[in-house]
């Protein structure tokens, strides 16, 4: 039996895990990888390739990096199947229709809930106790295509974005393998989504990480879980940006938006409960643990936190 030729669309860490799963599948042959262009990173703004490109080149795969697919052409190449995971650019109908079996998307939520750009982050920020993987056939809408298969993943209280993404990636590879086998042989028939249950997520910006101290400790901790490491959660201290790199939720009673030190531990008061700050970074300073901050900023109790 000949291998099924596959075109893969993906960019980020999660997508690289999916690509690796496809490469490990003896029934598939990944013929082309389409990923986003290299991006400038760091203070020197040096171009860095997407992790999907690095993995693809490791296996000697053909890689293309169009800035847009609006006028992109696959040419005369024929692909039986497309697979997409965290690609990040809109795929037009002409390309969706190009592979004989269409393009399957690996989405990190239980659709139709949390369609859009930040489903994993949104589930954490909203304090969900479970999420999952959906394998769907793509159409021109935003995650609106018919569903092939879904798998549920439990969210633990200590999960932050990277840990949950890793759990989802492991589940996704099993789900995709199962969905592909059933879809190709016809035992899985795509099912239309229930539009009445659809919810949407957005593209995150740095401003989304600004902490509102009038919220409860649980809400702020969930914001930290979903937005770490990017865009990160932050506040302002004496008109400087203060990044809160590692947090815990606490039931300690602390005045709202005020610091309090207890046994060399640092707490900030919320509307209900408090946040323990384990690691932080003040604008213009290096990242440090709470003890170093307490020792280095003797008068921080008198500074305004917003």
Tell me which fold the domain 206-302 belongs to. 3.10.25
Q: What is the pLDDT of residues 68-105, one digit of tens each?
A: 999 888 865 778 999 999 999 999 999 999 999 999 99
What is the model's pLDDT at position 264? 85
Q: Are strands 81-85 and 4-10 parallel, antiparallel or unpaired?
A: parallel
Query: How high is the mean pLDDT in each 10-residue block of the chain (306 residues)?
Result: 90 96 96 95 87 97 95 80 95 93 97 97 98 97 96 97 96 96 94 97 96 95 97 92 94 85 90 94 93 81 66
What contacts 102, CB < 8 A, 6 or more positions away? 81, 82, 96, 137, 138
What is the model's pLDDT at position 137? 97
Greatest extent of the chain over all pairs of C-alpha atoms, in Å: 73
Cα atoms in the Cβ-side hemisphere of radius 13 Å centred on 258: 9
What is the model's pLDDT at position 11? 96
Produce one character per residue of 121-131: b if its CB has 16 or more CB atoms within 10 Å, e if not: bbbbbeebeeb
Q: Kindly report the backbone phi and psi dihedral angles of residue 289, in degrees, each rounded to the nearest multiple of 5, phi listed first.
A: -80, 170
Q: What is the 3-state secondary structure (H, E, C) of the chain?
A: CCCEEEEEEECCHHHHHHHHHHHCCCCEEEEEEECCCCEEECCCCEEECCHHHHHHHHCCCCEECCCCCCCCCCCCCCCCEEEEECCCCCCCHHHHCCCCCCEEEEECCCCCCCECCCHHHHHHHCCCCEEEEEEEECCCCCCCCCEEEEEEEECCCCCCHHHHHHHHHHHHHHHHHHHHHHHHHCCCCCECCCHHHCCECCCCCHHHHECCCCCCHHHHHHHHHHHCCCCCEEEEECCEEEEEEEEEEECCCCCECCEEEECCEEEEECCCCEEEEEEEEECCCCCEEHHHHHHHCCCHHHCCEC
Q: What is the pLDDT of residues 224-273, one digit of tens each?
A: 999 999 999 999 988 899 999 999 998 888 888 888 888 889 999 999 99
Length of the chain in residues, anyone?
306
CATH 3.10.25.10, the chain: domain bounds: 206-302
Q: What is the distance between the alpha carbons of residues 248 and 227, in angstroms, rounded to a whole number?
A: 14
What is the model's pLDDT at position 301? 64
Strand partners, 30: 6
For 4-197, give the CATH class.
alpha beta
Q: What is the distance between the alpha carbons of residues 81 and 37, in angstroms, rounded to a whole number?
A: 23
CATH 3.40.50.170, the chain: domain bounds: 4-197
Nearest CA-CA partner of 58 in 5, 16, 3: 16
Owner of token pair 């979903």: 226
């Amino acid at each position: 039996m000949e291998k099924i030729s596959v075109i893969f669309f993906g960019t980020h860490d999660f997508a690289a895990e999916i690509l690796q799963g496809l490469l490990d599948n003896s029934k598939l042959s990944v013929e082309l990888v389409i990923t986003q262009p290299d991006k400038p990173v760091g203070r020197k703004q040096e171009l860095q390739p997407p992790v999907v490109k690095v993995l693809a080149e490791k296996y000697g795969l053909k890689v293309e990096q169009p800035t847009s697919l609006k006028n992109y052409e696959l040419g005369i190449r024929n692909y039986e199947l497309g697979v997409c995971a965290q690609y990040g650019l809109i795929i037009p109908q002409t390309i969706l229709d190009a592979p004989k079996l269409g393009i399957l998307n690996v989405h990190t939520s239980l659709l139709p809930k949390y369609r859009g750009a930040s489903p994993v982050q949104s589930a954490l920020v909203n304090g969900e106790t479970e999420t999952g993987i959906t394998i769907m056939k793509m159409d021109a809408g935003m995650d609106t295509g018919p569903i092939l298969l879904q798998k549920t993943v439990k969210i633990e209280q200590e999960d932050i974005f990277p840990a949950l993404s890793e759990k989802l990636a492991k589940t996704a590879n099993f789900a995709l393998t199962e969905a592909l086998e059933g879809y190709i042989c016809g035992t899985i028939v795509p099912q239309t989504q229930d539009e009445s249950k659809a919810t949407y997520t957005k593209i995150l910006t740095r401003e989304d990480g600004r902490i509102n101290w009038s919220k409860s400790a649980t809400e702020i901790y969930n914001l930290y879980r979903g937005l770490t490491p990017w865009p990160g959660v932050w506040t302002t201290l004496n008109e400087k940006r203060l990044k809160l790199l590692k947090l815990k939720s606490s039931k300690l009673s602390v005045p709202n938006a005020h610091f309090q030190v207890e046994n060399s531990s640092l707490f900030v008061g919320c509307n209900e409960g408090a946040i323990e700050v384990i690691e932080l970074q003040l604008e213009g300073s290096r990242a440090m643990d709470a003890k170093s901050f307490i020792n280095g900023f003797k008068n921080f109790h008198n500074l305004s936190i917003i």
